[in-house]
Amino acid sequence: MEIRDLDNQHEQLFFKCLEDWSDDMAESGDRRKDWFTRMSANGLRAKLAFDDNGVLAGMIQYLPIEYSHAEGAGLHFINCIWVHGHKKGRGNFQGRGMGSELLKAAEEDARSLGSGGMVAWGLSMPFWMRASWFKKHGYAKTDKDGMSVLLWKPFSKTVHPPKWILPRKKPVCLEDKVTVTSFNSGWCSVQNLAHERAKRAAAMHGDNVHFDHIDTMNRETMLEWGISDALFIDGKQVRTGPPPSFEKIKNLVDRRVRKLR
CATH of 178-258, one of 3.40.640.10, 3.40.50.720, 2.30.40.10, 3.40.30.10: 3.40.30.10
For the segment 62-77, the average pLDDT, to the nearest whole number, is 97
Of the pLDDT bands very low, low, confident and very high (cuts 50, 70, 90), residue 247 is very high
pLDDT at 260: 87
2-164 sits in which CATH class? alpha beta
Number of Cβ within a 10 Å radius of residue 40? 13
Provide the mean pLDDT of the chain.
Answer: 95
pLDDT at 241: 83
Q: Are strands 76-83 and 56-64 parallel, antiparallel or unpaired?
A: antiparallel
The span from the CA of 124 to the CA of 99, in Å, is 18
Q: Label residue 114 exposed, middle or buried (CB < 10 Å: 0-12, 13-18, 19+).
A: exposed
For the segment 72-89, the average pLDDT, to the nearest whole number, is 94
For the segment 154-163, the average pLDDT, to the nearest whole number, is 97
Residue 54 pLDDT more than 80?
yes
The span from the CA of 42 to the CA of 19, in Å, is 26
First to last CA, the chain: 60
CATH 3.40.30.10 boundaries in the chain: 178-258
CA 256 to chain centre: 28
Lowest mean pLDDT among 9-13, 113-117, 124-128, 195-199: 124-128
pLDDT at 128: 79
For the segment 135-161, the average pLDDT, to the nearest whole number, is 96
83-118 pLDDT tens trace = 999 889 899 999 999 999 999 999 999 999 999 999
Q: In degrees rounded to 5, what are phi and psi of residue 250?
A: -60, -45
Residue 127 pLDDT more than 80?
no
Q: What is the DSSP string of 36-65?
A: HHHHHTTT-EEEEEE-TT--EEEEEEEEEG
Q: Are 52 and 213 in contact (CB under 8 A)?
A: no
Q: Where are the beta strands (DSSP E) in the chain?
A: 2-5, 45-50, 56-64, 70-71, 76-83, 117-123, 140-145, 148-154, 163-164, 178-184, 209-215, 230-233, 236-238
Q: Are 129 and 121 in contact (CB under 8 A)?
A: yes
Residue 261 pLDDT more than 80?
no
CATH 3.40.630.30 boundaries in the chain: 2-164
pLDDT at 242: 87
